[in-house]
Amino acid sequence: MAVTSERASSKPLIEKRSIDYIPEAERHGRLLSQFTLWMGANLQITAIVTGALAVVLGGDVFWSLIGLLIGQVLGGGVMALHAAQGPKLGLPQMISSRVQFGVYGAAIPIVLVCLMYLGFTATGTVLSGQALGQLFGVSDSVGILIFASVIVLVTVLGYRVIHFIGRVASVIGVIAFVYLFARLISQTDVGALLQIRHFSWSSFLLAVSLAASWQIAFGPYVADYSRYLPSKTSSVKTFFAAGAGSVIGAQVAMILGVFAAASANGQFAGHEVAYVVGLGGTGATAALLYFSIAFGKVTISTLNSYGSFMCIATIISGFRGHLNVTRLQRLIFVLVIVGAATLIALLGQHSFLGAFKSFILFLLAFFTPWSAINLVDYYCITRERYDVPALADPNGRYGRWNALGISVYVFGVLVQLPFIATKFYTGPLVGAMGGVDISWIIGLVVPAALYFVLAKKWHSAVPDQLILPLEQDAVDAQPSRAGRIQAV
């Protein structure tokens, strides 16, 4: 533990690495930071709104809470399995997709993940803009611009600052949520709401889907924030630290959203932030709650922006080879990403709730198959035996394009189309499912099973053990092997 603390204290405030492999000498941090980061990322207003949707769209309180919990556990398990890859590989999540898709082919799911990040950042910015607008007495649009500026700063600073803000956000979030729950219970007959039980499969499955999609959406970048942990960190402990923080934080927030929406008498939609803060009071108390809402969104919005930056760098490096990202280039990337998300937020702020529901369900069709393929390959086919240096070599073990991974991915997207239910598109089998979108279930199960069967026969050669880049101390000790070093 002392060594870990010493390593952490010696690191610069501004992160110097981007998609590089993290050498053992630079590994630091504790599992507690994974718990606090993901709890802080989930104790926030967008999770409240997501939980509220289960009631706003027709569910009762009791079965909505049960459905949300089931969805949290299912989706949180997928998310946490990705988190456990970070310490072992020392890499950002999406670069490991080159094993399944090829060095060039990995750009296909990564581009779609970038779009996901952009959408989540934009929707979070809308709610944060409402909070800052109320806090400073300015318009929501000005609040959006203020929030975007903060996100740029924190994203540029990088890994250590993100984890620090996650710890602070966890503390502030717990205090704010305890207070809001106390106020809600004092103003609402919670027992009476729980007694109203009208079970409906469509409403129940909607609640499960909302929570599961919320958790699964973290999968493409969760390992980005565990990759600095020492390589000997237990995978099981990493799984539970990240998963528990995310599931507990999200479920607490969504419970508040369910009760808030159920007691709002139709006043929640369109005034999400103002209604939640109104539960807590007025004056100085309201100001503090507006601040806690905005600060809570800093963590998750920064994760989205940071993840976008990592994805763009991964795409470029796949076609150009090793990529050294300077701090100026990092700033430019982040400005473009946050600028685009801010523009979307400004244009779409007045139709937020309906668009958000459609967005979080529709986007799953494009990356649940990626998640299924990545997890099956890592845990069942290669069994953690990756050749990390080969991830940077189009002529190496994983090649430019992996027809198997790409084909299963495309099939995984297409097989979901009959089950998607959004404003953008509604599949022909949605009616038979009571109008509920269960595409995420199809998108996980079918590609996972198909890839497992096909990869058993046609997977490229798997190394006998995990191969990592030689680090400098190993090179100094064995100079004859220096030719094996490859940057990721």
In a domain, 420, yes or no: no
Asked, for residue 91, whether it belongs to a domain, the answer is: yes
- Whether 313 maps to a domain, the answer reads yes
**Domain region containing 30:** 2-365
Q: What is the pLDDT of residue 342?
A: 86
Residue 331 corresponds to which amino acid? L
Alpha-carbon span 14 to 430, nearest angstrom: 48
23 belongs to a structural domain: yes
435 in a structural domain? no
Structural domain count, the chain = 1
Q: How confident is the model at residue 480 (pLDDT cuts 50, 70, 90)?
A: very low
**Separation between Cα atoms, residue 399 and residue 289, nearest integer Å:** 52
Task: State mean pLDDT over 107-136.
Answer: 82
Beta bridge partners of 426: 421
> Of 449, 401, 391, 410, nearest to 85 (Cα)?
391
Sequence-distant (6+) residues with CB within 8 A of 105 are: 98, 400, 401, 402, 405, 406
Residue 474 C-beta-side C-alpha neighbours within 13 Å: 12
Q: How many CB atoms lie within 10 A of CB 100?
A: 28
CB proximity list for 249: less than 8 A, separation 6 or greater: 38, 39, 40, 41, 42, 43, 47, 170, 173
101 domain residue, yes or no? yes
In a domain? residue 423:
no
Rounded Cα gap, residues 203 and 165, in angstroms: 36
Position 239 pLDDT exceeds 70? yes
pLDDT tens track for 39-85: 888 888 888 888 988 988 888 899 999 999 999 999 999 999 999 99
Q: How many CB atoms lie within 10 A of CB 197?
A: 9
| pLDDT at residue 451, rounded to an integer | 96
314 touches 106 (CB < 8 A): yes
Cα–Cα distance list, 2 to 6, 30, 228, 369, 385 (Å): 6, 11, 16, 41, 30
CA distance 412 to 410: 5
What does the chain come to in residues?
488
pLDDT (tens digit per residue) in 157-213: 776 787 788 788 888 888 888 888 888 888 888 888 888 888 888 889 889 988 998
Residue 331 domain-assigned (yes or no): yes
Exposed e or buried b per residue across 303-314, where buried means at least 16 C-beta atoms within 10 angstroms of its C-beta:
bbbbbbbbbbbb
Helix (H, G, I), strand (E, B) or coil at 387: strand
Domain with 216 in it: what CATH number? 1.10.4160.10
